[in-house]
Amino acid sequence: MIKSNSCVYFVPPHPLFNKDEVPLFGSFDKKNSIHLNLTLLLNSKEIINNMVLPVPTIFCFDENDRGYLPEDFSTGKTKNFYINTSDKSFLKVLYDKYFTKYKYNLLILTNTVSISSSDISKIFDLLSREDETVTIGITNKKRIAFIGFNSVSSDILHDIDLKNLYYEKLLNKLCRFDYFVHVIDGLISINDIDDFKNLYFELSKKENYRYCSQNIHEKFTHLFIEYKELLK
């Protein structure tokens, strides 16, 4: 069950929309790299909008994306917060601004594509322990897809690089503190062409609709057609 003092944050590892700052995804051109970023973020927006019980949500963007946000995120219908993703202390900024206001905080990387609305509810259930708890979502490559916590020291948030964050590295940091750690594996995040190929095969399965609607699937299909040679 979603608690009233919960909050979800969608956090990017880099600029998403400023064509002068967006990193190219593999062999994609700039336009399609941005299209991929937008499709992933629109999927996140759909998932959070489909929550049975609404939960406060913050969409984080890199400072370089100011003035470049697409209409879905620039008309005041989403609560946005700008960060410097190249600064490893940016989570401390979120801590000072938001984390201390909520008991249960869930950070989801914007390139994560396999979390459904019901999954988010289950994550908050796992955080509803009396113990200090951290819940971590990892991919088959042991990359971090999300981090949830019901209590956190600002010391933990120091020097976390979301561009290159792996389970072992985060676990080593958490082991210095007395936290109960719950791990959910098998998640999908899109970091390289191998992940893109994996997404193509996963979206061919009917069960993917719990975390990716037909509308979003069609947006991904544009990329699958454009880069069909990469899928062989």
The string of pLDDT tens digits covering residues 162-207 is 777 899 988 888 887 788 889 999 999 999 999 999 999 999 887 7
Of 228, 185, 205, 212, nearest to 40 by C-alpha is 212
On average, the pLDDT of the chain sits at 90
pTM: 0.94
Predicted confidence band of residue 60 (pLDDT cuts 50, 70, 90): very high
Give residue 2's pLDDT.
56
Identify the structural domains of the chain with CATH numbers, from first to last.
6-231 (3.90.550.10)
Q: What percentage of the chain reaches a pLDDT higher than 70?
A: 96
Residues 6+ apart with CB under 8 A from 50: 117
Give 72-108 pLDDT, tens digit per residue.
998 888 999 999 998 877 888 888 899 889 999 999 9
pLDDT score of 38 more than 70 = yes
Reported as a pLDDT band with limits 50, 70 and 90, residue 208 is confident
Residue 3: the pLDDT is 57
